[in-house]
Amino acid sequence: MFGDLFEEDYSSVSNNQYGKGKKLKTKTLEPPAPREFTNLSGIRNQGGTCYLNSLLQTLHFTPEFREALFSLGPEELGSLEDKDKPDAKVRVIPLQLQRLFAQLLLLDQEAASTADLTDSFGWTSNEEMRQHDVQELNRILFSALETSLVGTSGHDLINRLYHGTVVNQVVCKECKNISEKQEDFLDLTVAVKNVCGLEDALWNMYVEEEVFDYDNLYHCGTCDRLVKAAKSAKLRKLPPFLTISLLRFNFDFVKCERYKETSCYTFPLRINLKPFCEQSELDDSEYTYDLFSVIIHRGGCYGGHYHVYIKDVDHLGNWQFQEEKSQPDLNLKAFQNEEAVDDPLMILKAILSQEENNLIPVDQLGQKLLEKTGISWNKKYRKQHGPLRKFLQLHSQIFLLSSDKSTVSLLKNSSLQAESNVLRNHQQLFHTMASESPGLIGSTTCPHWFDINDSRVQPIKEKDITQQFQGKESAYMLFYRKSQLQRPPEARANPRYSVPCHLLKEMDAANVELQIKRSECDSANNNFELHLHLGPHYHFFNGALHPIISQTDSVWDLTFNKRKTLGDLRQSIFQEMNCHFVKLKLLMGKTSSYGMEWRLVESRFRLVLTASLCCYMFFIWKQEEKMKSVGSW
């Protein structure tokens, strides 16, 4: 459909399987994994569709585009249920885009599928395995969408959001006549070779003039002869969303081969386009744009992989880094740079204040100290303060040891003091970090960036964008949005905002179905049936045990999760048998028929049961090892 511009370099694509001319096979037995801690959904790679995934994620994180598409109802687009009816007019591409965006917003799965969307493009399985150019896809997808929306209220969606105008002018030096030609653009293609950055490239394109003189004169229609002239171009109309394609792939006419330009090429997070526009009398805010998406190409000119950096304008994702979730550890490590490192009282109080109920086993306290601060009690404090347990005893006004001295807790007043100390140290640490990193304060209210690489979504810091200025993994397409565009407060952190009711119902029903499937899958994979044969219900006859009553009544069935411990299994069995023991006590009285105390009967029974369970669990483990290739047992 787009031509074989590139072939996918499969070695650089993760979490995918490939087959020549075949569709990607996925596990049908297990439901898709739920979203990870970012709370954002990726898109599965169908074999060579990383370029498509990157562009679709950019469109999805363009809320104005997404909401304009959502505003088109079934009365205008039709319904996917009617697409096979001969007389029905169904606009399949926008309908599939709507559905995909709803899944990315609301469906609790790690990655969405584009299979239905690519089917609406008319792609074959071979087409899905080929790597194409994302800039060309952008143009063709928008063209197909415009064609599909003809006759609807969204007929001008692409033109309204993405189309701009460039005017080329030639000025005659003799008669001053101006000849101009206006052109529409969907994206601006700018040079990379011999240019240090985006602003320099735009300056060369829209500020500097090309002069016609000497052997390269211009024929003026008014003068009707060859004259000196000057040619220039200016941006006449700016769209709300500006797409810029970097011309990284060139052709070496000496070597007769293509190559990728990997030199350093900078681009700003915010750019003012006023110097490059024909009309500049408006306020600067009319010309200011913010970067919100960077599509990145990794590899060479004959193969590679695309992923995208995206700014979360609506705060839909959880940007918090996993290693930054535990802020108390930062406070404790901050002690290493303070005089408090010589005072073990403050450190131990801080550790205990973070524990539930301010309580911890003494044996674990020393380990916690080492884990959280990197300081060993024996190496740092034992020589001066003695053993840890003795130190806790000497400070009984702060620490409360249990009667057996196995656990320690903070006294109530000391706990409050420790919390205030931790809070104070946290505030000091925050101010120190803020002074070292300008702009950190208030960053929680700013949109954050994510690296979306097919199914994988990870938070990144804004400074990481500079890593894509140069090299084999570098920026290929830039997407800017007008700084004036503001989002409504109700859209913030609200993935259901503006989603049509029929799609909300569909996604809610799909989430319920996913939960049921995951529960069933978890039960099938991790639960097993345990059959308990009760001794009192059997008698020994002719060298074998025979049930006194029916086989069904003499066996108890117990479902158990194999991820739990043997102790949990014993506890479950004892709970099941508790009622049986009560009945047995009533029948046997205080002593058994053999004269043994009931407690002795019960203890011996539990001892035999524990030994039996150990043997049984070992047997289960061996059976599981044998049956791994089968997948169930």
Q: Give yes or no: 305 in active site.
A: yes
For residue 187, give the DSSP letter: S
- DSSP secondary-structure letter at 216? S
Residues near 239 by beta carbon (within 8 Å), at least 6 away in sequence: 161, 162, 163, 164
Q: How far apart are CA 341 and CA 338, in angstroms?
A: 6
Measured N-to-C along each axis, helices 344-353 and 362-373 cross at an angle, to the nearest 10 degrees, of 100
DSSP letter for each residue of 451-510: EEETTEEEEE-GGGGGGGGSSSEEEEEEEEEETT----GGGTT-TTTT--HHHHHHHHHH
* Residue in 122, 65, 113 with CA at minimum distance from that of residue 92: 122
For residue 581, give every residue at least 6 positions away whose Cβ sits within 8 Å of its Cβ, in sequence order, or none: 602
Torsions phi, psi for 81 (to 5 deg): -65, -20
What single string gives the DSSP state of each residue in 496-511? TTT--HHHHHHHHHHH
Which spans in 489-597 are helix H? 501-526, 566-588
| 615: annotated active-site residue | no
Catalytic residue, chosen from 132, 305, 307, 448, is 305
| Number of residues that this document lists for the chain | 633
Q: Does residue 223 contact residue 292 with C-beta atoms inside 8 Å?
A: no
Q: Which of 50, 172, 220, 277 is catalytic?
A: 50
Tell me whether residue 511 is exposed, middle or buried, using C-beta atoms within 10 angstroms of its C-beta: 0 to 12, 13 to 18, 19 or more: middle
CB 280 within 8 A of CB 224: no
Q: What is the set of active-site residues?
A: 50, 305
